[in-house]
Amino acid sequence: VQLQASGGGLVQAGGSLRLSCAASGRALSTYNMGWFRQGPGKERGFVASITKNGESTVYADSVKGRFTISRDNAKNTVYLQMNSLTPDDTAVYYCAADEGAYSRYTTRIKSRYDYWGQGTLVTVSS
């Protein structure tokens, strides 16, 4: 599967953005999906994940209550709605696909994911 992330850009603190991750080559419903981000000088870290059927989600504590992950398998697309953005959210955001069994305990681990998109840059100004 190929993943294409989009929707990044420059936004003021307090603003919102919606990222999209479009899949091609294989049905998105085959995969649990995750979003990760890598800020300046930081390691890539977990943001959110969602099961294949969209019934279960997990969020990093830093984004809980502000970000929402969702998916539309008919459109082969996963979304990340980001609200109340702060400068600390500035990062390159990556979507990733996991074709294994979903686990709330391991979904945060980068090595769980088999395929990665190219990333989209989100910059939040103060």
| pLDDT tens per residue across span 21-66 | 999 999 999 999 999 999 999 999 999 999 999 999 999 999 999 9
Q: Tokens representing 50?
A: 């969602």
Determine contact, residues 50/56, Cβ cutoff 8 Å: yes
Determine contact, residues 23/115, Cβ cutoff 8 Å: no
Instruction: Indicate whether 92 pLDDT > 90.
Output: yes
User: Residue written as tokens 């980068």?
Assistant: 110
Helix, strand, or coil here: 83?
coil
Number of neighbours of residue 42 by Cβ within 10 angstroms: 9
Determine contact, residues 80/119, Cβ cutoff 8 Å: no
pLDDT of residue 37: 98
pLDDT of residue 105: 87
Average pLDDT for residues 101-109, to the nearest whole number? 91
